[in-house]
Amino acid sequence: MSGVVLDLQRWSIHDGPGARTVVFLKGCPLQCQWCCNPESQCKAPEIAIFPQNCIGCGRCAATCPDQVARPSSEGGFTDRGLCSRCGKCVEACVSGAREWMGEEVAAGEVMKTVQRDMAFYRRSGGGVTFSGGEPLCQPDFLEILLKKCEALGLNTAIETCGHFNWRKCKDVIKRADLVYLDIKHMDPVRHRELTGVSNETILQNAINIAAEHVPLIIRIPVIPSLNDSVENITATVEFARRNLRGAKGIEFMSYHTLGKEKYAAIGLDYKLEHIRVLDDEEMNNLRKLVDCPRQPSLVNWRPVA
C-alpha cells in the first residue's frame, strides 16, 4: 500500500522522546492561519515555485501540454487552477525552480528510511513520529506504518490536529505510544475563523483519547493576539485539567515564521504579516499564569525551534 508523503525527516529531537524520524503525511482538514507547513494541507502532490532559482530558459512553458506553465521568475503559471499536474514542467526544469511537494510512496519505502536509524532509536529511546498535515487523513496508510513500526519494536507518536472521525480512527490512534493533540482555541466560533473548522470534534477526540488511556500531550500553538489571551489559555488548561486527567502534560508552542516563504511557492497568501513573535519572557509569563502547584507536570512549556 502507498500514501502521499510530504517529507521524511531524520534526527528530530522535538517530536517525542529520543532521536526520531518524522514522517510527514499530506492532507489536513484545517487551514490554520499560522500553519508552518502550508504545503501539507492539500492531500495531492503539488508543484512549488522557486523564482530565485529560475534562469528564464522557458523549458517549462515549451513542454506544458496545457499551456499554463511559465517561468517561475514570472509567477510559474498563467493560471494554476488549470494545471493538470502532469509534472512535465518539473522534469524539464533543471535549475530547481519548480519542485513537487509530496509524492506517492509505498509503505515499504517509508520503512526503509525509518530503519536506517534503528541503532540510534535504541540508544536514545527514540522512534518514529507521524505528522503532517494531519496523518489521520490517511488512516489506512498510517495504520500499516504503525503496524510495521510495532513489528520492529519501535516507539511511535502521532501529531494530530484532533479533527478526525473517532469511529474510523480509534483503532489507529490506539496503536500509538504517544499522541500530541493541538488545541488552538476554546471558543468554537473563533476556532472556525482561525482554522476553518469548529473545535467540538477536536475537544471530544481529546476526551476520547484520554479515556482510552493512550498517552496524550496537549499542545497549544501560542499565536500572539489570536489565541494568547489570559482567558483562552486559562480555559484551555482548565479543560485539560477537568477532562483529560490522564494526560501527560500541556506544551506551549511558540509562534514562528519559518513557514512564511512557502506560502508564495504554492500560490497562497500569508495572512499573519502583522504578527510578532513572543520572546522567552512572555512565553514564561504565560506558563506561570497557568502553573498548577497541585499538578506541576500538567504544564510544560517547550518553545518550537
Smallest separation, CB 92 to ligand SF4 (Å): 5
Site for ligand SF4 in 37-56 (CB under 6 A): 47, 54-56
Q: Please write down the HEC assignment for all residues of 221-278.
A: EECCCCCCCHHHHHHHHHHHHHHCCCCCEEEEEECCCCCHHHHHHCCCCCCCCCCCCC
**With binding defined as CB under 6 A, does residue 101 bind ligand SF4?**
no
Identify the residue among 2, 36, 88, 120 touching ligand SF4 (CB under 6 A): 88
CB neighbours of residue 193 within 10 Å? 12
Instruction: Please state, in angstroms and rounded to a whole number, the distance separating the CA atoms of residues 90 and 72.
Output: 11
Identify the residue among 43, 98, 163, 184 touching ligand SF4 (CB under 6 A): 98
CB neighbours of residue 81 within 10 Å? 7
Place of cell 529531537: 13
Instruction: Please state, in angstroms and rounded to a whole number, the distance separating the CA atoms of residues 77 and 100.
Output: 14
CB 253 within 8 A of CB 222: yes
Instruction: Please state, in angstroms and rounded to a whole number, the distance separating the CA atoms of residues 13 and 15.
Output: 6
Based on CB atoms, which residue is closest to ligand SF4, 58 or 259? 58
Structure letter (DSSP) for residue 157: E
**With binding defined as CB under 6 A, does residue 92 bind ligand SF4?**
yes
**With binding defined as CB under 6 A, does residue 84 bind ligand SF4?**
yes
Size of residue set near ligand SF4 by CB under 6 A = 28
Based on CB atoms, which residue is closest to ligand SF4, 56 or 296? 56
**With binding defined as CB under 6 A, does residue 194 bind ligand SF4?**
no
**With binding defined as CB under 6 A, does residue 235 bind ligand SF4?**
no
Identify the residue among 9, 17, 36, 58 touching ligand SF4 (CB under 6 A): 58
Based on CB atoms, which residue is closest to ligand SF4, 56 or 108? 56
Q: Which residues bind ligand SF4 (CB under 6 A)?
A: 47, 54-60, 63-64, 66, 68-69, 71-72, 77, 83-89, 92-93, 95, 97-98
